[in-house]
Amino acid sequence: MLTLESPPAWASKPIKQDVPYNDAKGVQAALDKLQKLPPLVTTQEITNLKKNLKNVALGKAFVLQGGDCAELFDYCNQDMIEAKVKLLLQMSLILIWGANKPVVRIARIAGQFAKPRSSPMEVVNGVEMPSFRGDNINGFEATPESRKPDPSRLVSAYFHSAATLNYLRASLTSGLADLHSPLDWGLGHVITPTIKEKYERIVNRVKDALRFMQTVGIDTDRGVETVDIYTSHEGLLLEYEQSLTRLSKNPATETTHPAQAPGATTAPAPPQSYFATSAHFLWIGDRTRQLDGAHIEFFRGIANPIGIKIGPSMTPDELVRILDVVNPTREIGKVTLISRYGAQKIAQHLPSHIAAVQASGHLPVWQCDPMHGNTQSTPSGVKTRHFTDILSELRQALEIHKAAGSFLGGMHLELTGEAVTECVGGAGGLTEENLCERYTTFCDPRLNEKQALELAFLVAGFYREMDEETNSI
C-alpha cells in the first residue's frame, strides 16, 4: 500500500533501474525539499484527464501523446516549448479531421528527464564511467565527475518542470491554441508542398465553420480559444515520485466498470486518494513492470491514470495479472496499454494480448508506440528509426484492433518541433547519409515536425478509410 510514511511499501520490493547515489545526506535533503514544495499539477486536472481517457477507452475520443525521448534542462525555453505545443496542436487538428473524434493531448514534457538504460556503465574513449541516465540524475558530458549521480538534480528537475508548466499554461491561457487562427501556429521548417496544402485545406474548413457559428450566434464559449494539454513522463525514479505524492480529497465519483463486464465490482470512490502530482499521467516502462517489483507496487497505489508499456516479452497472462493488480476495480480508462512491439513482431503478439484483455473484463485505453520497437543502428553505429517501419506498425495496429472488435485509441510518439535529422524517410526523403546534419538527441531518435505532420495525415487517412468501409457495409 502507498503511504506517505517512511519507508513506503514499494521500498521493500525489488527495484529495477535504481540510482546508486553515494551521498545519502544529499539525497535525503533533496527529498525533504521536494516534500515541502507545492504540487506541480492539481488533483482536479488529473481527474479531468481520467474522464477524458474513459471516453478514449469507450471509442469516443483519440489520444495523442508525444514529445522528447529525454528532456534536458536546456529545453526549458520559450522557443522549444512553443514548438512542441504547436506541433501537438497541428497534429491534433489533423487527427480530429480524420478520425472525427475529440483528441486528448498529452505531452511528454515538464518531467521526462530520466531514462532507463540497458547497462549502468559504459566505456568512453577507453574510460569506464556511469551511463548518462538523464538530466535529473547526472550530466551528459563524458567524464567520470559529470556522470556521477547528483541528488541536487532532483530539485533542479522540479523547478525546470515548474517553469515549463508555468509557460505552457500561460501560453494556452493567452490564446496560443485559439482555433480562430490555427495558421498562426506556423509550419516551422516544413517545406513539403503537399503537407502544407493539406494542412491549409483543413484550416480553411475550420475557419469557415467558426465564421458560420459566429454568424448564427453560437460561438459563445472558450472551447475554440484554448485546449487542455496534459503532462506525462515515465515514473522511473520512485523516490522523486513519492516525494511529490499527496493525499488529497478524491474529486472522482465513479470508479467502477459497467456491470456487464466479467469480474466487475461495485465500490464507492474513497474519500481520499494518493495522487502523484509530478505530472497528470505516469507510465511504467517495459524494463520496470515486474509483478513483484517496486514500480508496480507504487503505481497500484496512486489515483492518476497510468500507462504500461507492452513489448514482445509480455505474456498475455502476465498482462492480465498486472491489470488486476493496478486496477482491481476495473475502472474504465484508468490504464493505458502502450504497445511497442516493432513492425515485424506486432502481428505475432498484439492479437493475443487484445484477446486476453477482452476476456478479463478490463477496458483500458489501447495506444500504439511505433517508435521503440523499430530502433536500429546504421552500419556506422548511429541509432535511427525508419519512417516506413513506424507507419507500418501503426497501420497494423489499427487493422488488428478493428479485426478483434477493439479500438486503437491513440498513438505515443517521440517527436520534436525542431528541424532534426534523426529518423530516416518520410516525404522529405531523409537518408542515413543525412543523419549527421542535425542529429541532436541525447537518447533515442525523434520524428521532426515534417515527419510528425505527415504521420498525422496518414493516420487520419487510415481512419477515414475505415469509416468509409464501415459505412459501406
**Which domain CATH number covers 330?**
3.20.20.70
**3 pLDDT higher than 70:** no
345-353: which pairs have CB atoms within 8 A and are 24 or more residues apart?
345/312, 345/373, 346/373, 346/393, 346/396, 346/397, 346/400, 347/396, 347/400, 348/312, 349/312, 349/314, 350/396, 350/397, 350/400, 350/401, 351/400, 351/403, 351/404, 352/316, 353/310, 353/314, 353/316, 353/319
- pLDDT bucket at 219, cuts 50 / 70 / 90: low
Give the three cell numbers for residue 122: 559504459
Number of domains making up the chain: 1
Inside any domain, residue 215: no
- 444 vs 340, 400, 439, CA distance in Å? 14, 27, 10
Instruction: State how far the Cα of 79 lies from the Cα of 99, in Å rounded to an integer.
Output: 30
Inside any domain, residue 372: yes
Give the three cell numbers for residue 126: 577507453
**81 pLDDT higher than 80:** yes
Inside any domain, residue 457: yes
Inside any domain, residue 186: no
Q: Is 340 annotated as a binding residue?
A: yes
**442 pLDDT higher than 90:** no
Inside any domain, residue 164: yes
Domain enclosing residue 333, as ranges = 48-177+226-250+272-471
Among 78-92, 119-133, 211-225, 361-375, where is mean pLDDT lowest?
211-225
Q: What integer pLDDT is reported at residue 170 of this predicted model?
A: 92
Instruction: State how far the Cα of 48 lies from the Cα of 52, in Å rounded to an integer.
Output: 6
**221 pLDDT higher than 90:** no
**40 pLDDT higher than 90:** yes
Q: What integer pLDDT is reported at residue 250 of this predicted model?
A: 82
Mean pLDDT over residues 434-448, rounded? 93
Q: Is 414 annotated as a binding residue?
A: yes
- pLDDT bucket at 463, cuts 50 / 70 / 90: confident
Instruction: State how far the Cα of 141 lies from the Cα of 138, in Å rounded to an integer.
Output: 9
Q: Which residue has the higher pLDDT, 126 or 7?
A: 126
Q: Is 108 annotated as a binding residue?
A: yes
What 3 state SS string does the chain have?
CCCCCCCCHHHHCCCCCCCCCCCHHHHHHHHHHHHHCCCCCCHHHHHHHHHHHHHHHCCCCEEEEEECCCCCHHHCCHHHHHHHHHHHHHHHHHHHHHHCCCEEEEEEECCCCCCCCCCCEEEECCEEEECCCCCCCCCCCCCCCCCCCCCHHHHHHHHHHHHHHHHHHHHHHCCCCCCCCHHHHCCCCCCCHHHHHHHHHHHHHHHHHHHHHHHHCCCCCHHHCCCCEEEEEECCCHHHHHHCEEEEECCCCCCCCCCCCCCCCCCCCCCEEEEECCCCEEEECCCCCCCCCHHHHHHCCECCCEEEEECCCCCHHHHHHHHHHHCCCCCCCCEEEEECCCCCCHHHHHHHHHHHHHHHCCCCEEEECCCHHHEEECCCCCEEEEHHHHHHHHHHHHHHHHHCCCCEEEEEEEECCCCCCCCEECCCCECHHHHHHCCCCCCCCCECHHHHHHHHHHHHHHHHHHHHHHHHC
> pLDDT tens digit string along 313-361?
999 999 999 999 999 999 999 999 999 999 999 999 999 999 999 999 9
Q: Is 369 annotated as a binding residue?
A: no
Residues 6+ apart with CB under 8 A from 301: 1, 2, 9, 10, 274
- pLDDT bucket at 98, cuts 50 / 70 / 90: confident
Q: What integer pLDDT is reported at residue 464 of this predicted model?
A: 81
Question: What average pLDDT does the structure give for the chain?
Answer: 88
Inside any domain, residue 95: yes
Inside any domain, residue 13: no
**220 pLDDT higher than 60:** no
> pLDDT tens digit string along 370-428?
999 999 999 999 999 999 999 999 999 999 999 999 999 999 999 998 999 999 999 78
Q: What integer pLDDT is reported at residue 263 of this predicted model?
A: 45
Q: Which residue has the higher pLDDT, 349 or 86?
A: 349
> pLDDT tens digit string along 252-292?
654 444 434 444 444 566 788 999 999 999 999 999 999 99
Inside any domain, residue 313: yes
Q: Is 443 annotated as a binding residue?
A: no
Q: Is 69 annotated as a binding residue?
A: yes
- pLDDT bucket at 193, cuts 50 / 70 / 90: confident
> pLDDT tens digit string along 162-185?
999 999 999 888 877 665 565 555
In this prediction, what percent of the chain has a pLDDT beyond 70? Answer: 85
In this prediction, what percent of the chain has a pLDDT beyond 90? Answer: 70
- pLDDT bucket at 1, cuts 50 / 70 / 90: very low
Among 50-59, 185-194, 195-204, where is mean pLDDT lowest?
185-194
**473 pLDDT higher than 60:** no
